[in-house]
């Protein structure tokens, strides 16, 4: 039997198990084989998952198996007199521990002082139980409190209580413990892993571009200035220029999972100042349709992987994820405006772009037809010096947006690889070419036709997880009013 409370030295143990110490035996046969050490020799790290405390996850506990050890936070406590039910939570789920006074009086006495969110470790016999989470409970033979949580908690973890988002974010470390919040970030990890897997399999090169630059691809109004030694610099707004330079350098197909910064003063449910992006660029394309094909196939693959591998998380979030198996519809920008005006009586204030309401209405239009994702192609070229114009069209460019569940998820298109033509566009749009000499020069030595896009990871997670606010899809979000935690 082991009963331990680490911080108030409550101990009643017949022996202190060596498996609870940070111990490691030296390789057998050596002179010091019986000694222990805080440092483990490199050749001892042979497991795919190395843990200093012996345990298994709650999801791996099987009823009527041999004695098991679990560890986690105390999610819920129910005291019924001579019976105490302890619900323990780890990353994989919940498990019930049943303390009976008549069976283990010392353990029963020790658990009387346990508090919500204490970190505990329990060893015991797993038993089948229809009333317990997961259909299994543990009859404990050992119990220890590894660390105690301060009380009262500023945020309830176990109770289904509505808490405003600001309070949740102020106490984010606690909020992240909630099973539903953890499910969001498990989905996020699955999505990113699946996308990277698809591009790796297709031969794309994983790249990392600078987060500090002298200027931005899309202008200076949205840039965060920083002091870089004795020079003025900015946090990166987009890796696009560097992606294009790599096309000129012969890399042909690249992707990046990275971060970008937008210094916009906003207060919406879809904008933040620090964003996670999945950027793609590929060379030797015929036109922008090739780029859309890549995005469509990779996104479909990622959604399919999540639907197959994250059923528990989707259930926790009450999400029925639809994988769009049909081709994504592709409509022109003019066709999008026509749908909005004729079916909804809506026309955006800026006639060169879709507004938030327009995206939402178009999303409803296509979801009614069974298409949660669709492309809008051929935006007016007056804002995009780096996009190729549509031949024989004085207005449209080869820029596209992907709309997913009523919200812009990505922007991309075919880039202008003719440097002289691009410089003319820059000058006509009032872009200071002197700020982009490194970019212009790189493309001037022979550049294949290419294109790409940037996909907002946070927005994708928001839509897949069915979240109201993009900040819920980011562990520690940044906006104009939030710089901590």
**Residue 453 burial by Cβ neighbours in a 10 Å radius (0-12, 13-18, 19+):** buried
pLDDT of residue 37: 47
The answer on pLDDT for 24 being more than 70 is no
pLDDT of residue 125: 94
**pLDDT tens-digit series, residues 67-95:** 999 999 999 999 998 999 999 999 999 99
478 assigned to some structural domain: no
The answer on pLDDT for 10 being more than 50 is no
Three-state SS sequence of 63-130? CCCCCEEEEEEEEEEEECCCEEEEEEEECCEEEEEEEECCCCHHHHHHHCCCCCCCEEEEEEEEEECC
Residue with structure tokens 């239009």?
Answer: 365
CB 133 within 8 A of CB 93: yes
pLDDT of residue 386: 86
479 assigned to some structural domain: no
Are residue 401 and residue 288 in the same domain, yes or no? Answer: yes
User: Does the annotation list 411 as a binding residue?
Assistant: yes
Residue 47: CATH number of its domain:
2.40.50.140
User: Does the annotation list 482 as a binding residue?
Assistant: no
What mean pLDDT comes out for the span 317-330? Answer: 96
User: Does the annotation list 88 as a binding residue?
Assistant: no
Are residue 136 and residue 185 in the same domain, yes or no? Answer: no
Residue 463: CATH number of its domain:
3.30.930.10
8 assigned to some structural domain: yes
CB 110 within 8 A of CB 2: no
User: What's the number of domains the chain is made of?
Assistant: 2
Are residue 117 and residue 208 in the same domain, yes or no? Answer: no
What mean pLDDT comes out for the span 307-314? Answer: 96
Q: What is the C-alpha separation between 377 and 481, in angstroms, rounded?
A: 35
Q: What is the C-alpha separation between 436 and 433, in angstroms, rounded?
A: 5
User: Does the annotation list 377 as a binding residue?
Assistant: no
What's the chain's average pLDDT?
88
The predicted model scores a pTM of 0.87
What mean pLDDT comes out for the span 361-369? Answer: 97
Range of the domain at 374: 179-473
pLDDT of residue 296: 98
Are residue 244 and residue 121 in the same domain, yes or no? Answer: no
15 assigned to some structural domain: yes
Structure tokens at 344: 């909804």
Domain boundary among 127, 147, 167: 147
Structure tokens at 327: 């081709």
User: Does the annotation list 456 as a binding residue?
Assistant: yes
User: Does the annotation list 413 as a binding residue?
Assistant: no
Are residue 206 and residue 76 in the same domain, yes or no? Answer: no
Are residue 278 and residue 129 in the same domain, yes or no? Answer: no
Instruction: Give the angle 141-142-144 at the CA atoms, nearest 5°.
Output: 155
pLDDT of residue 12: 43
482 assigned to some structural domain: no
242 assigned to some structural domain: yes
pLDDT of residue 17: 40
Tell me the pLDDT band of 40, cut-offs 50, 70 and 90: low
CB 268 within 8 A of CB 357: no
User: Does the annotation list 300 as a binding residue?
Assistant: no
User: Does the annotation list 429 as a binding residue?
Assistant: no
Residue bearing the bigger pLDDT, 389 or 210: 210
The answer on pLDDT for 401 being more than 90 is yes
The answer on pLDDT for 254 being more than 90 is yes
**pLDDT tens-digit series, residues 123-132:** 999 999 988 9
Q: What is the C-alpha separation between 261 and 263, in angstroms, rounded?
A: 7
171 assigned to some structural domain: no
pLDDT of residue 276: 98
pLDDT of residue 50: 54
User: Does the annotation list 57 as a binding residue?
Assistant: no
User: Does the annotation list 218 as a binding residue?
Assistant: yes
The answer on pLDDT for 249 being more than 80 is yes
435 assigned to some structural domain: yes
What mean pLDDT comes out for the span 414-428? Answer: 92
Nearest to 53 by CA among 67, 69, 75: 69
Lowest mean pLDDT among 175-179, 241-245, 393-397: 393-397
User: Does the annotation list 458 as a binding residue?
Assistant: yes
What mean pLDDT comes out for the span 404-429? Answer: 94
């Amino acid at each position: 039997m082991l009963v331990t409370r680490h911080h108030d030295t409550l101990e009643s143990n017949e022996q202190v198990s060596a498996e609870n110490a940070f111990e490691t035996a030296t390789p057998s046969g050596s002179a010091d084989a019986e000694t222990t050490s805080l440092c483990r020799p490199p050749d001892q790290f042979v497991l795919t998952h190395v843990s200093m405390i012996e345990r298994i996850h709650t999801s791996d506990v099987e009823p009527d198996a041999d004695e098991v050890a679990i560890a986690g936070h105390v999610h819920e406590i129910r005291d019924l007199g001579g019976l105490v039910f302890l619900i323990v939570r780890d990353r994989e789920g919940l498990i019930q521990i049943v303390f009976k006074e008549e069976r283990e009086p010392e353990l029963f006495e020790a658990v009387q002082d346990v508090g919500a969110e204490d970190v505990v470790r329990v060893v015991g016999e797993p038993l089948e139980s229809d009333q317990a989470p997961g259909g299994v409970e543990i009859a404990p033979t050992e119990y220890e409190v590894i660390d105690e949580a301060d009380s009262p908690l500023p945020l309830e973890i176990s109770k289904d209580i509505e808490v405003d988002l600001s309070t949740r974010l102020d106490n984010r470390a606690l909020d992240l413990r909630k099973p539903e919040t953890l499910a969001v970030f498990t989905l996020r990890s699955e999505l990113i892993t699946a996308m990277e897997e698809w591009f790796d399999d297709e031969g794309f090169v994983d790249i990392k571009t600078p987060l500090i630059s002298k200027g931005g691809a899309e202008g200076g109004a949205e840039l965060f200035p920083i002091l870089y030694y004795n020079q003025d610099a900015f946090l990166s707004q987009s890796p696009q220029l560097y992606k294009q330079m790599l096309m000129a350098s012969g890399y042909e197909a690249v992707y990046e999972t990275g971060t970008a910064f937008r210094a916009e003063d906003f207060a919406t449910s879809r904008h933040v100042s620090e964003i996670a992006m999945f950027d793609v660029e590929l060379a030797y394309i015929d036109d922008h349709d090739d780029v859309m094909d890549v995005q469509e196939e990779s996104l479909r693959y990622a959604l399919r992987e999540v639907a197959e591998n994250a059923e528990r998380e989707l259930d926790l979030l009450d999400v029925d994820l639809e994988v769009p198996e049909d081709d994504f519809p592709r409509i022109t920008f003019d066709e999008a405006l026509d749908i909005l005006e004729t079916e909804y009586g809506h026309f955006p204030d800026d006639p060169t772009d879709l507004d938030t309401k327009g995206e939402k209405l178009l999303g409803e239009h296509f979801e009614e037809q069974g298409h949660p994702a669709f492309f809008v192609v051929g935006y007016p070229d007056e804002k995009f010096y780096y996009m190729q114009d549509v031949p024989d069209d004085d207005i449209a460019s080869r820029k596209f947006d992907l709309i997913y569940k009523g919200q812009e998820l990505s922007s991309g298109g075919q880039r202008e690889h003719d440097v002289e033509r691009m410089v003319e566009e820059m000058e006509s749009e009032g872009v200071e070419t002197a700020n982009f000499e490194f970019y212009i020069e790189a493309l001037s030595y022979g550049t294949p036709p290419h294109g790409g896009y940037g996909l907002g990871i946070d927005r994708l997670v928001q839509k897949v997880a069915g979240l109201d606010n993009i900040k819920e899809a980011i562990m520690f979000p940044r906006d104009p009013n939030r710089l901590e935690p």
